[in-house]
């Protein structure tokens, strides 16, 4: 069965976005060029330019693609998650999983570059805020923390924790320390929930 023109265009766009993520992870932000992206995607210059008129337009789309993929990873894990005592632990594991791998590594490249690139930061903020808001809503639903200030503190500390654990992963000799840190965080949140 052949694809419709619309499906072909969507498929080509997806290949370009995935190739951009691959290049960000492999070469870093500075080494990600449109030539490398089109080579990684196996597409012509014309195909790239048909979808994205400039590198910055492609990177803006990649920012949204990365945020969408990270949220999709969490959502698919939590589709059937019901409220209950174990739901927070499962949510934390889903967030940890989304804060690893190529999409998160690409996000780190973009975050780092946005520190000194005003245009990139302006494109990055809405996508990251949308992702953060969706994660916050999931957390609110499953955390079981009634005090809004305590809930906000627990959420922000979780995000800093899982991001930091991934950034420093290659500096640890074993992965069990990261698991122990997360278990300690869960224990502290459980004490807040009981208070």
CATH assignment of the domain containing 151: 1.10.357.10
Residue 9: domain span = 5-194
At residue 137, the pLDDT reads: 87
At residue 134, the pLDDT reads: 87
At residue 63, the pLDDT reads: 86
pLDDT average per 10 residues of sequence, the chain (195 residues) = 86 94 95 96 94 88 87 76 74 86 89 90 88 88 88 95 89 86 92 80
At residue 144, the pLDDT reads: 84
Domain count, the chain: 1
Q: How far apart are CA 122 and CA 59, in angstroms?
A: 12
pTM as predicted: 0.81
Instruction: Give the Cα-Cα-Cα angle 28, 30, 34 (nearest 5 degrees).
Output: 95
At residue 84, the pLDDT reads: 63
At residue 164, the pLDDT reads: 92
At residue 172, the pLDDT reads: 84
Q: What is the pLDDT of residues 97-115, one digit of tens each?
A: 888 888 888 989 999 999 9
At residue 192, the pLDDT reads: 84
For 162, counting Cβ atoms within 10 Å of its Cβ (0-12 exposed, 13-18 middle, 19+ buried), the class is: buried
At residue 97, the pLDDT reads: 84
At residue 85, the pLDDT reads: 62
At residue 141, the pLDDT reads: 84
Q: How far apart are CA 19 and CA 36, in angstroms?
A: 8
């Amino acid at each position: 069965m052949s694809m419709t023109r619309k499906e072909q265009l969507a498929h080509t766009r997806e290949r370009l976005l995935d190739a951009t993520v691959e290049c960000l992870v492999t070469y870093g932000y500075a080494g990600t060029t449109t030539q490398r992206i089109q080579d990684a995607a196996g597409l012509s210059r014309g195909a790239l330019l048909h979808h994205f008129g400039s590198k910055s337009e492609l990177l803006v789309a990649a920012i949204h693609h990365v945020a969408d993929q990270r949220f999709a990873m969490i959502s698919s894990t939590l589709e059937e998650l019901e409220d209950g005592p174990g739901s927070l632990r499962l949510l934390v594991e889903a967030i940890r999983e989304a804060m690893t791998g190529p999409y998160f590594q690409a996000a780190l490249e973009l975050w780092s570059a946005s520190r000194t690139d005003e245009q990139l930061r302006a494109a990055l903020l809405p996508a990251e805020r949308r992702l953060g808001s969706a994660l916050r809503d999931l957390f609110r639903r499953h955390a079981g923390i009634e005090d809004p200030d305590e809930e906000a503190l627990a959420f922000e500390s979780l995000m800093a924790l899982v991001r930091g654990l991934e950034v420093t992963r290659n500096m640890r000799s074993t992965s069990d320390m990261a698991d122990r840190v997360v278990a300690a965080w869960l224990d502290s949140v459980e004490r807040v929930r009981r208070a």
